[in-house]
Amino acid sequence: MAKLKDVAEKAGVSISTASIVLNGKADRQRIAPATSRKILQVAGKLGYLKNVRSRTTKQRISDVIAIAFPIAETHTQTTDFWLNIVFGANNEATKKNQNTFIIPMQDNPEETIEHLIRYYHEGRIDAAILPGKIAHLFKAPPEFPIVFIGPTSARIAPHLKISFKHAYFEAIKHIIKKKRTKLLWIEQEQSTLSIERFNTLRDFAEMHNLKISKIELGVYNTETILKDEGLNKISDACEKHLTTISEHDVVFCYNDIIACGLLKAAQKNGYNIPSSFSIVGFDNLCSRFTSPRLATIDHKIVEMGAKAVNLIMRMTNSNNFNMDEWRTTTEHVDGELILGETL
């Protein structure tokens, strides 16, 4: 087990300085903040203290923000989403002189949560960015700054989500200009998010006396975007509904993989897009790879990652941070309509 002498040597300070910091007297003895942080970091890494946080009032010790996200064996839309979150967060963290610590989650989010809480107490990380879908599992101390990304019903911490209202409003305006009136919504299966998107689109349509129908494909586990298997499942499902689909002017798809599958099925069966009917996706993950180029909603994922870091910086700038003051905070990132060539 590490001793005080080991901590002092590793941190490059005297034993007396290390003792002052580890006994919570750094401010009183005017120890430089950078020195205090280094000593606390070393103490945590060496296991000298199980709870470094108890020895300081400073919110930031390590200047490290953890980002935990789900990862699968195959490349999926969820993987793409979180890689873009990481990219945006890492860039913004660098600008703020912060570091990021990436933690891929697989089948056991509870284990990842346990690690995060331990790392926080040990002073290895100062805050964390997490998927909203695991919020109900998170039992963190109220002084631990966390931000959730994506929908969540557990209001235990601030969360960020995309607002697609403006993008859908712009899409409806574009449709009206082109005098198109018959709208269709296609989803794989009904979910909380698909209901929210459909209701938003329907409300804007009805404001302009437009009706929108719905088709649920009933195809599951099709997140794979870089392999043909998922796309082929969607394409085959769309092909079965092509007669009904072609009776509409504009087809809004829950995500880009549905839109790509529909485009593939339509072209295979001799339909010309957008002359036969228009297609609008959601995600902006594959627009540049399709011909014609897919119209879609870009949900500004990179910007969302940067915004998560900025929210954390606001939280950790206070030495008296308490999650109770932040737990109901919801911030939005506005999506953008990418017109493409299929609308």
Q: Are the C-beta atoms of residues 39 and 16 closer than 8 Å to each other?
A: no
**pLDDT higher than threshold 80 for residue 154:** no
State which H helix or E strand residue 243 sits in. helix 242-245
Q: Which of 70-74, 117-121, 189-193, 222-226 has the lowest mean pLDDT?
A: 222-226
| Nearest Cα residue to 130 out of 66, 71, 73 | 66
64-162+302-331 — its CATH code? Answer: 3.40.50.2300
| Nearest Cα residue to 53 out of 143, 159, 160, 150 | 143
Instruction: Calculate the average pLDDT of the chain.
Output: 85
> Any idea which residue has 């890492």 for tokens?
90
Domains 64-162+302-331 and 165-298 share a fold: yes
Per-residue confidence band for 264, with pLDDT thresholds at 50, 70 and 90: very high
**pLDDT higher than threshold 60 for residue 226:** no
Domain boundaries, the chain: 4-55, 64-162+302-331, 165-298
More confident residue, 106 or 209: 209
165-298 — its CATH code? Answer: 3.40.50.2300
> Any idea which residue has 């290390």 for tokens?
18
Buried b (16+ CB within 10 A) or exposed e, 316-332: beeeebebeebeebeee
| CA atoms in the 13 A half-sphere facing the CB of 130 | 26
4-55 — its CATH code? Answer: 1.10.260
Question: Which are the contacts of 149, defined by CB distance < 8 A and separation ≥ 6?
Answer: 85, 129, 130, 131, 132, 159, 160, 161, 304, 305, 308
Quote the pLDDT of residue 116. 86
Q: Are the C-beta atoms of residues 163 and 332 closer than 8 Å to each other?
A: yes
For the packed helices 192-207 and 165-177, what is the interaxial angle rounded to 10 degrees? 40
Q: Are the C-beta atoms of residues 287 and 296 closer than 8 Å to each other?
A: yes
**pLDDT higher than threshold 90 for residue 293:** yes
**pLDDT higher than threshold 50 for residue 287:** yes
User: What tens digit of pLDDT does each residue of 95-142 get?
Assistant: 999 989 998 887 778 888 888 887 887 778 889 999 988 888 887 777
Q: 70 preceded by cis ω (within 30°)?
A: no
Strand order through the sheet with 159-163: 99-105, 64-70, 127-131, 146-149, 159-163, 330-334
Quote the pLDDT of residue 337. 95
**pLDDT higher than threshold 50 for residue 225:** no
Q: How far apart are CA 49 and CA 295, in angstroms?
A: 55
Q: What is the phi/psi pair of residue 315, to 5°?
A: -70, -40
Can you name the residues that pair with 330 across neighbouring β-strands? 159
Give the rounded percent of residues in the chain with a pLDDT score beyond 90.
Answer: 41
Query: Could you tell me the pTM of the whole model?
Result: 0.74
More confident residue, 120 or 210: 210
Written as one letter, the residue type at 267 is Q
Written as one letter, the residue type at 302 is V
**pLDDT higher than threshold 60 for residue 231:** yes
Per-residue confidence band for 259, with pLDDT thresholds at 50, 70 and 90: very high
Quote the pLDDT of residue 55. 54
Quote the pLDDT of residue 167. 94
Residues in the chain: 343
Burial of 248 (0-12, 13-18, 19+ CB in 10 A): buried
